[in-house]
Amino acid sequence: MKCFPINLDIEGKKVLVVGGGQVARRKVKSLASCGARVTVVSPCFCKSLARMKGIHRVTRRYRKADLAGACLVVGATDSQEVNRRISEHAKTVGLPVNIVDQPNLCTFTVPAVVSRGDILIAISTGGGSPALSGRIRRHIEKHFDPAFATHLELLRQMRPLVRSSSLNLSQRSALLKTMASDKMLRILKKKGAAFTGRHLLQMLADSVKAT
């Protein structure tokens, strides 16, 4: 299955998760970490899900009306019939739906993810082999330097300064690429964030002075 990759902003939006077990818990935790307002519907909840804060629990069986106001829905129950109904109902009202481990019932799948701060790498096999996605994720995690997250934060601070400077478009683009280079990452790892931040500011000042 060929999928179109997309990053979806769900902060402050309602997301419905149906299911109360450990699989549902993992989905709820991931969704809540992105700022979603998560509603979980299930007749019962595992201990960790029952204790989880910041979510809305509805202790009963799933109803179609639960979809109201949601921006997407995740089905994580152990009932094939319930999962099928969730999928059908969501598709009827045009809601993106993911049924865990049943790609034939999904309109979107959830990739394996490697994250460092706001850097996100998603790995998908198009629903063909979640196990292989997990293996690739573990391989990337071993080689994905945590310093990239700090580098990103420094670049996030510098980007508006560079863009508002007197440099022309090509000069700004070249400077931002240099700031994002492997050389800057090596400086960061050797000298630390404070030194690197000052160094980036000086690079900007020198570039403006040279024009």
Residue-wise pLDDT tens digits, 2-37:
778 888 999 999 999 999 999 999 999 999 999 999
To the question of domain 14-110 being in CATH 3.40.50.720, the answer is: yes
The confidence score (pLDDT) of residue 127 equals 73
State the Cα–Cα distance between residues 58 and 178, nearest whole angstrom: 52
The confidence score (pLDDT) of residue 124 equals 86
User: Are 21 and 9 spatial neighbours (Cβ–Cβ below 8 Å)?
Assistant: no
Angle at 102 between CA 92 and CA 139, to 5 degrees: 130
User: Are 15 and 31 spatial neighbours (Cβ–Cβ below 8 Å)?
Assistant: yes
CA 182 to each of CA 72, 88, 139, 145, 176: distance values in angstroms, whole numbers, following the listed order: 38, 48, 21, 12, 12
Spell out the residues 6+ positions from residue 208 whose beta carbon is closer than 8 angstroms to its own: 165, 166, 167
Q: What is the DSSP string of 48-97?
A: HHHH-SS-EEEES---GGGGTTEEEEEE--S-HHHHHHHHHHHHHTT--E
* 90: pLDDT strictly greater than 80: yes
User: Are 108 and 44 spatial neighbours (Cβ–Cβ below 8 Å)?
Assistant: no
Domain range annotation of the chain: 14-110, 111-144, 147-210
The confidence score (pLDDT) of residue 128 equals 79
| Residue where the block lists tokens 């400086």 | 187
The confidence score (pLDDT) of residue 177 equals 97
pLDDT tens per residue, range 92-133: 999 999 999 898 999 998 888 898 888 999 998 877 788 898
User: Are 106 and 99 spatial neighbours (Cβ–Cβ below 8 Å)?
Assistant: yes
The confidence score (pLDDT) of residue 125 equals 84
Please give the model's pTM, rounded to 2 decimal places: 0.80
pLDDT tens per residue, range 29-79: 999 999 999 999 999 999 999 999 999 999 999 999 999 999 999 999 999
Spell out the residues 6+ positions from residue 68 whose beta carbon is closer than 8 angstroms to its own: none
Distance from the Cα of residue 60 to its chain's centroid: 29
pLDDT tens per residue, range 57-66: 999 999 999 9
State the Cα–Cα distance between residues 118 and 131, nearest whole angstrom: 25
Q: Name residue 74's beta-bridge partners.
A: 17, 98
The confidence score (pLDDT) of residue 101 equals 87
Candidate from 83-92, 117-126, 195-204 with smallest mean pLDDT:
117-126
Q: 70-75 and 56-59: which strand pairing?
A: unpaired
Judged on CB neighbours under 10 Å (0-12, 13-18, 19+), 31 is buried
* 1: pLDDT strictly greater than 80: no
